[in-house]
Structures are given as C-alpha cells and as structure tokens.
Amino acid sequence: MFWWLTDVRGQFGDDPTDPDAPLLPSERYDRLTGRCTRVGDDALRSGLAQAVKRWLPAWAGRLTPHGLRHHCASALYARGMDLKAIQELLGHEWLSTTTRYIHVHNDHVDRAWAAANQRVADRFADQGR
C-alpha cells in the first residue's frame, strides 16, 4: 500500500494531502468536478470500447468484457486447467454454467484422444519392463 500512497496517489491532483485525492485504485480524478470519484460500473466496458475503437477497429462493438471472460476461460481450459478450477475462478455456482463459457478448438477431441491413447500405450510399455 505504501507504493500507492507515495507513487500513485499524488498524481491525481496537486495536493496529495487533499482528503478527496484517491485513496484506492478504484477511484479516478474527475476533470469536470476537479474531485476524485469512484469508478462506475461501466468504466471497464467503456474503457475497453475506446481502446478497441482506436487499436482494433475491426473488433469495435464485438469485443466486450464478457467476451474476454469467455476467451480467458477457453484459453485456460485449452492449456490444461481443470474445469473445476475454472469454475471457481469465474465464480460460477454450477459447473454447467462454466461449460457454456468454454469454447473448445476443433482439434480438441483429437488431441484428447491421442493423449489418452498415449497414456495407455505408456502404461503397457511400463508393465512390459
């Protein structure tokens, strides 16, 4: 917390001792009022929309925080993270909700089948020694 108070907080106004200067990262300097206010619930959505419009114009209107959440869950699953762990990470009560978030690549079944067959072959090879 010391780094926030010494390095960041003072950047939001001329007087870092001002009680209205941001104390937490969820607060931002409001140019209209000259005071710091809490970030609204739309800050991530609008910030992402502005960044997408500027840097990825072909994705404008299609790349959302919810879409990123789906992508993150799918990427974690594709890299081998346990489905139950992804459920807990996303905060889903039901595993069925998490499975709807995960979009598998077309070759997922083929890779899983090959890996399972390799495990069986390794097991037989170990028994033969």
pLDDT digit string (tens) for 97-120?
999 989 888 887 888 889 899 999
The range of the structural domain enclosing residue 28 comes to 2-39
Residue 105 located in a structural domain: yes
Residue 52 located in a structural domain: no
Does 68 lie in the same domain as 34?
no
Residue 53 located in a structural domain: no
Residue 7 located in a structural domain: yes
| Residue from 25, 28, 7, 27 nearest 16 by CA | 7
pLDDT level of residue 81 (50, 70, 90 thresholds): very high
pLDDT at 46: 85
Does 118 lie in the same domain as 68?
yes
Does 73 lie in the same domain as 21?
no
Does 73 lie in the same domain as 113?
yes
Residues for the chain: how many in total? 129
pLDDT at 112: 83
Helix (H) or strand (E) holding 36: strand 35-38
Does 76 lie in the same domain as 114?
yes
Does 73 lie in the same domain as 116?
yes
Residue 116 located in a structural domain: yes
Task: Please tell me the total count of domains within the chain.
Answer: 2
pLDDT of 47 above 80: yes
94 neighbors 121 (Cβ within 8 angstroms): no
- What global pTM score does this model have? 0.57
